[in-house]
C-alpha cells in the first residue's frame, strides 16, 4: 500500500500488554515513527503450582501433547519444567496459541505447531494434528482461570486433559488523576488491546474518569474480543487479523494510510 511505511509517523499508539511483553512491538512501532505510550492493563504474577499440578510437570514425559496458551504460559511454564527436566522430554507434540508464544518455545530449541491465522483456542483446535487424538493425554499450561473451549474440544475428541496453572492476571492500580492526565497529555490515535480481560479492565479503570472511554479508538485481535468491546459499550472498534506483532503493525498502517488518502 502506497504510503503505508510512513502511515504511523506522528501517530500516538497506546499499548496495553503486560509490561514484560510490550518491548519488541513498542520498538517496531517507534522505528516507524509512532509515539508509543505503554499502559499495561494486566499484571502477570507467577504462582506456585498446586501439588497435583506439580506432579503433572514431574510426569511431563507421560503426555502426548503439551499446549501453551500464551507467551506467559510458555515463559513461566518452561522455567518450572526445567526445574524438574534439565532436558525437555522427547516425543511430545508442543502446541502454542500463536507465533509469539511459539517463539518462546522455539528459543529453547523446541519444535512447535501453532495456527497461522486464527490465534486462539478455536484456531488451535482446527490444526490437523488435533484431528485424531483419541486416547492421547494433553497438558494445558495456562494462568489461573480462563476459557474452557480448548479443554472441552480436546475431551470431545477422546483426549484426556490436565491443567497446570502457573500465573495469575491482576488489574493494575492506576489513580483517576493519572488516567485523566494520560488522556489529556497523550490522546491516542489507536489503543491496542489484545484480550477480553484487558478490555474489561480498560473500561473499569477509565469509567471513573468520564465518558471518554466510550470513544477510545480500539484495535482488537479477533471477532470475539470485538464483540466483547461492543457489549461493554465501546463505540470505536477496528479488527486486526490477529494479536501478533506483524498483524498489529500491518493493521495500524493500513488504517492510517487509508485515513491519509481520505484527507
What pLDDT is recorded for position 256?
92
Q: How confident is the model at residue 100 (pLDDT cuts 50, 70, 90)?
A: confident
Question: For 223-243, how does the pLDDT look when each residue is reduced to its tens digit (9 = 90+)?
Answer: 889 999 999 999 999 999 888
Residue 179: all three cell numbers together:
488516567
State yes or no: pLDDT of 261 exceeds 60.
no
CB 97 within 8 A of CB 70: yes
Share of the chain above pLDDT 70, in %: 97
Element (H, E) at 58: helix 51-58
State yes or no: pLDDT of 163 exceeds 60.
yes
CB 237 within 8 A of CB 217: no
State yes or no: pLDDT of 250 exceeds 60.
yes
- If one counts every other C-beta atom within 10 angstroms of the C-beta of residue 47, the result is 12
Beta carbons within 8 Å of 78's beta carbon, 6+ residues apart? 104, 105, 108
Listed range (111-125, 134-148, 207-221) with the worst mean pLDDT: 111-125
Q: How confident is the model at residue 262 (pLDDT cuts 50, 70, 90)?
A: very low
* Residue count (the chain): 263
Q: Is the pTM for the entire model greater than 0.85?
A: no
Listed range (18-22, 44-48, 205-209) with the worst mean pLDDT: 18-22
State yes or no: pLDDT of 137 exceeds 90.
yes
Question: For 169-216, how does the pLDDT look when each residue is reduced to its tens digit (9 = 90+)?
Answer: 999 999 999 999 999 999 999 999 999 999 999 999 999 999 999 999
Based on C-alpha coordinates, what's the Rg of the chain?
Answer: 20
Q: Is the dihedral of CA 59, 148, 146, 225 positive or negative?
A: positive
Q: Work out the burial of residue 102: count CB atoms within 10 Å of its CB; fewer than 13 is exposed, 13-18 middle, 19 or more buried.
A: buried
What pLDDT is recorded for position 258?
82
C-alpha–C-alpha distance, residues 97 and 158, integer Å:
21
Amino acid at each position: 500500500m502506497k504510503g503505508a511505511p510512513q502511515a504511523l509517523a506522528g501517530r500516538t499508539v497506546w499499548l496495553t500488554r503486560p509490561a514484560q511483553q510490550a518491548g519488541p512491538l513498542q520498538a517496531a512501532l517507534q522505528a516507524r515513527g509512532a509515539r508509543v505510550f505503554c499502559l499495561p492493563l494486566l499484571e502477570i504474577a507467577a504462582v506456585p503450582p498446586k501439588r497435583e499440578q506439580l506432579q503433572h510437570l514431574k510426569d511431563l514425559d507421560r503426555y502426548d501433547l503439551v499446549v501453551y496458551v500464551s507467551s506467559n504460559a510458555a515463559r513461566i511454564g518452561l522455567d518450572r519444567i526445567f526445574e524438574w527436566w534439565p532436558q525437555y522430554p522427547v516425543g511430545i507434540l508442543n502446541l502454542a496459541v500463536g507465533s509469539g508464544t511459539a517463539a518462546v518455545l522455539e528459543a529453547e530449541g523446541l519444535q512447535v505447531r501453532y495456527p497461522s491465522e486464527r490465534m486462539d483456542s478455536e484456531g488451535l483446535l482446527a490444526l490437523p494434528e488435533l484431528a485424531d487424538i483419541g486416547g492421547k493425554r494433553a497438558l494445558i499450561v495456562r494462568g489461573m482461570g480462563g476459557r474452557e473451549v480448548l479443554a472441552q474440544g480436546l475431551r470431545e475428541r477422546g483426549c484426556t486433559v490436565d491443567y497446570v496453572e502457573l500465573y495469575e492476571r491482576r488489574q493494575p492500580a492506576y489513580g483517576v488523576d493519572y488516567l485523566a492526565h494520560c488522556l489529556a497529555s497523550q490522546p491516542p490515535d489507536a489503543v491496542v488491546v489484545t484480550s477480553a480481560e484487558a478490555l474489561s479492565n480498560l473500561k473499569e479503570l477509565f469509567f471513573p474518569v468520564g465518558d471518554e472511554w466510550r470513544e477510545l479508538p480500539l484495535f482488537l485481535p479477533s471477532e470475539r474480543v470485538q464483540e466483547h468491546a461492543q457489549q461493554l459499550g465501546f463505540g470505536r472498534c477496528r479488527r486486526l487479523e490477529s494479536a501478533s506483532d506483524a498483524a498489529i503493525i500491518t493493521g495500524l498502517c493500513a488504517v492510517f494510510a487509508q485515513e491519509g488518502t481520505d484527507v
